Every structure is written in structure tokens, then in C-alpha cells.
Structure 1
Amino acid sequence: MTSDSSCGDARPTTGVRGPARPGFVHLVVGIAGLAAFLLTGAYMAFQLDHLHGMPWPQRSMYRSAHIYLLFGAVHALAVGAVRPFPNSPWAARLVLLPVALEPAIFLIAFFLEPAGLMLSRPISRLGIYIAFASSVGLVILLAKERESMRSLALRMHTHQPKAEREPKVGL
């Protein structure tokens, strides 16, 4: 485990440095997802005439797919902003990679599901399952990271001389 000292940031990382760092990738994916959200909104407004005159199932599918895209983008942004890098880099990559794919999955669903009236929403369902599984995995990894930090702090505290551990009594 290393820390990225070039930015003055002493938080633990997975050892990946530079712009390919998972936090950076998730921020870029999240911003791209927000841009796609705005563009799909413009598409619905200008190409689909604000969805006026469209049958309600198809209209509902476009609107919900649009919101799913926003959800995927915000999820990626949140993961990128928090920068969760647990002690277990392979497990972290297993959890973090699907989060980066969510906006793309929801963007594909936006164009394919409403147009084909796929009422079972197979693509959106996949994105939702990925979001749920990665969120649960992330919570588990962060809980393990927190526990390891707590045990590290406890070990550091017990290795201090007794005189340093006891509070000084003032006059």
C-alpha cells in the first residue's frame, strides 16, 4: 500500500498512480455520464418533441432510462469523489470496475429499450443489479478497511511508552 504524496494526499491507495487511478477514472466517467444525461434530455426535447403524442409505456421508458443514466453518473461521481481504496486491491478493482461501466450500460438501455418496447428492461435491470452488487461490495470493503485502520491505531497506541499514553495532569 502506498500513498500519493505528490498531491499532498496521505490517504492509502492501491498503488496505481497518475490519471489511471480509480478515483480519477470514476470522476471522468461520472462527468461523461452527466454530459450524456444532458444530451439525452436534449434528444428527448428536440428529436422526440418532448415525448408528446408518444404512447405512455414508451414515454415512461424513456423518462426512467433517462433517470437511470443520471443515477449511474452520480454513482460513479460519488465513488470517484470518496476515493475508496481498500487494502485489498484486487477486491477493490472487482468492485470499482462495474461502477465505471454503469453509465455506459444505462446509455445503451436509453436508446435500445424504449425504441424496441422491451418492457422487461433487460439492459436496465443489468445496470441496476451491477449498481446494487458493487455498492454492497464497496460497503463490505470499506468496513474491512475501517476495521484494519482501527486495529492499526490500537497497535500504535499500545506500542507507545506508558508515560506518553497517560494524560498529563495540569496545575
Structure 2
Amino acid sequence: MKTPVKISLIHAVMGLLAFVIFLQTGWHMSTIQVGELHDSQRMIYRAGHIYFLFSSLLNLSIGVQLQLSPILWKRYIQYIGSVLLLMSPPLFLYGFYTEATAGDIARIFTTLGIFLAFGGTVLHSIVFLVDLIHTNTD
């Protein structure tokens, strides 16, 4: 029987890969001389860069500490949260390269990435807090 890949390993790999890409996006910003762009476009580039770092660190932190619950409904919530968190770095990366060059302040992909990262973090936090409450009451 094959051993399934642990979701925590997927998070860790995504986090590390996204961090390496974060370094590349920083290099990209230096080659296009972001400092010389109009203020609004420069802000969009820098914010996208930081959002991407944020999502890489979220995935990395989940990857190094996640312990799936033995209780089925909690594990399903963790899986849903993981899917949401794993979807955020590609959205931030796409937004970095497409929305920043357009210079439009309405950033649909970046906004979606923020909400997915938020939702995934909330779902993982709920399971953690429920376990913490049950541990302290036992």
C-alpha cells in the first residue's frame, strides 16, 4: 500500500518554493526599477511582493506544525483550510505579474488570495482552538 503524501509536507514545499519565488520577485522589481515608477504602481508592486512573502510564510508555518486531527470532521476542516492556503501563493504571484503592470487599484486576484489565506488560517485556527479547549477541560 502506498503511503499518502502528508498535507504538511505539501505546505512546507509550497512555503519554501514560494519563498524562493519571493526572492525572484524582489530581483524582478530591481530590474524594472520600481523606485522610478509612479507612486500608485510602485505601491502595487511592493504590496504584491509582501503579500507573496506573507503567503509563503503562512504555508511554511502550517507545514512545520500541522498535526491532522484523528476526528474526521476536524480533519475535513483542516483539509479545506489547507486547500485555501495552498491556493493563495499562485493567486498572489499571478496578481504580482499582471495586476501591478496594469496599475489598476482593483486587484481581483490579490483580493481573492487575501480572502483565501484568511479563510484557511481561520479554519486551521478553529480546529486548534477547539482542541485546546477540549484539552483544558479534560
Which TM bucket (shorter chain)?
0.7 to 0.9
Larger radius of gyration: 1
Is 1:35 the counterpart of 2:24 in the alignment?
Answer: no
**TM-score scaled by structure 1?**
0.72
Bigger drift between 87-96 and 141-150 goes to 141-150
Residue of structure 2 in register with 1:44 after alignment: 29
Is 1:95 the counterpart of 2:81 in the alignment?
Answer: yes
Give aligned pairs, total. 134
CA offsets 1:22-62 (integer angstroms, 9 cap, x no match): 1100000000110110001111112x02x143111111100
Mind listing any 5+ residue stretches in structure 1 that lack a counterpart?
1-15, 155-171
Task: Point out the structure with the larger helix share.
Answer: 2
Mind listing any 5+ residue stretches in structure 2 that lack a counterpart?
none
**TM-score scaled by structure 2?**
0.88
Is 1:131 the counterpart of 2:113 in the alignment?
Answer: no
Q: Are 1:99 and 1:131, in contact at CA under 8 Å, matched by a contact in 2?
A: yes
Residue of structure 1 in register with 2:96 after alignment: 110
Identity %: 24
Residue of structure 2 in register with 1:22 after alignment: 7
Structure 2 distance, partners of 1:83, 1:17, is 18
Q: Are 1:98 and 1:131, in contact at CA under 8 Å, matched by a contact in 2?
A: yes
Q: Are 1:113 and 1:121, in contact at CA under 8 Å, matched by a contact in 2?
A: yes
Q: CA deviation at 1:148?
A: 4.4
Q: Are 2:77 and 2:124, in contact at CA under 8 Å, matched by a contact in 1?
A: no
Structure with the bigger RCO (C-alpha within 8 Å, sep 6+) is: 2
Structure 1 distance, partners of 2:87, 2:12, is 12
Residue aligned with 2:27, SS:
helix
Q: Pairwise CA RMSD of aligned residues?
A: 1.8
